[in-house]
């Protein structure tokens, strides 16, 4: 009795290589985008816009905009400043173990912890001002980017409903992104300028380590990169004009 093809060549038992599967998915995705006429840079821009929205939301809730490490009150103490609060973390020795204690303090409650006229070592007023400027800038940028993304998505789903503004939207989109990134970058720089005035002499400690935190550097790098992608054509024209001189 002759065996069937499935028994002699049991291809249904073979497993597909995951690497080949991912390559095929990526290949199909690229082909789909090419057939639909979507430019590669447009896809990259949309992806970065979505990433920027999430980055701003995370950054607003981060307490790593400015950091101070020092020996305070007889122990190792760290101060991590956010936009609306700061956190104090210290290690407490419990027997042979070391326990990390983290305390969150809102800027508007700092003055309640000290007597009138007493020097406030954590400089909540200064860091609160820097945080407020940056918070307003990030929220403004978030609203503009989200609005532009919604309009773009709606225009792709129902292009006929936006036929009257099709010719005007590219210019509106350019100015919207330009304003959002200008505000965002400006407020990031303003935060750095204000925080540079952090007076470590007011801390009852010696030789503290301080500086702009991880979130500040990441947002600065991401904002510059995002802006370069958005305005790549303008940068190319500017570089060409400079080289022609």
Mean pLDDT by groups of 10 residues along the chain of 245 residues: 48 47 53 55 80 93 87 69 86 69 82 55 83 93 89 67 56 84 93 83 68 92 90 78 76
pLDDT score, position 74: 55
* Buried/exposed code over 16-28 (b: 16+ C-beta within 10 A; e: otherwise): eeeeeeeeeeeee
Q: Three-state SS for 42?
A: helix
pLDDT score, position 163: 53
Q: Three-state SS for 209?
A: strand
pLDDT score, position 231: 83
* Cα 147 off chain centre by: 18
How many CA within 13 A on the CB side of residue 132? 9
Kindly state the tokens that stand for 147.
Answer: 């609005």
pLDDT score, position 55: 94
pLDDT score, position 167: 54
Distance CA 42, CA 134 (A): 28
pLDDT score, position 138: 94
Instruction: Give the neighbor-by-neighbor strand order of the sheet with 75-81.
Output: 97-106, 85-94, 75-81, 66-72, 209-212
Q: What is the pTM of this model?
A: 0.73
User: Do 113 and 122 meet the contact criterion of CB atoms below 8 Å apart?
Assistant: no
Q: Comparing C-alpha atoms, which of 76, 75, 99, 88 is closest to residue 121? A: 88
């Amino acid at each position: 009795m002759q065996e069937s093809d499935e028994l002699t060549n049991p291809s249904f038992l073979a497993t597909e290589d995951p690497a080949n599967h991912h390559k095929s998915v990526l290949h199909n995705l690229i082909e789909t985008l090419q057939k639909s006429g979507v430019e590669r840079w447009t896809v990259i821009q949309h992806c970065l816009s979505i990433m920027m929205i999430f980055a701003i939301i995370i950054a607003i809730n981060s307490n790593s905009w400015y950091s101070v490490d020092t020996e305070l009150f007889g122990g190792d103490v760290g101060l991590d400043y956010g936009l609306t609060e700061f956190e104090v973390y210290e290690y407490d020795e419990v027997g042979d173990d070391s326990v990390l204690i983290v305390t969150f303090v809102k800027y508007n409650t700092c003055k309640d912890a000290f007597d009138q006229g007493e020097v406030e070592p954590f400089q909540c007023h200064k860091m609160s001002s820097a945080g407020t400027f940056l918070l307003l800038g990030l929220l403004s940028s978030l609203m503009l980017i989200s609005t532009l993304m919604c309009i773009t998505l709606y225009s792709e789903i129902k292009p006929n409903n936006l036929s009257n503004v099709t010719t005007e939207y590219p210019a509106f989109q350019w100015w919207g992104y330009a304003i959002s990134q200008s505000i965002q970058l400006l407020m990031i720089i303003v935060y750095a300028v204000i925080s540079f005035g952090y007076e470590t002499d007011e801390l009852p400690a010696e030789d503290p380590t301080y500086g702009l935190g991880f979130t500040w550097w990441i947002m600065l790098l991401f904002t510059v990169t995002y802006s370069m992608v958005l305005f790549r054509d303008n940068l190319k024209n500017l570089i060409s004009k400079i080289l022609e001189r």
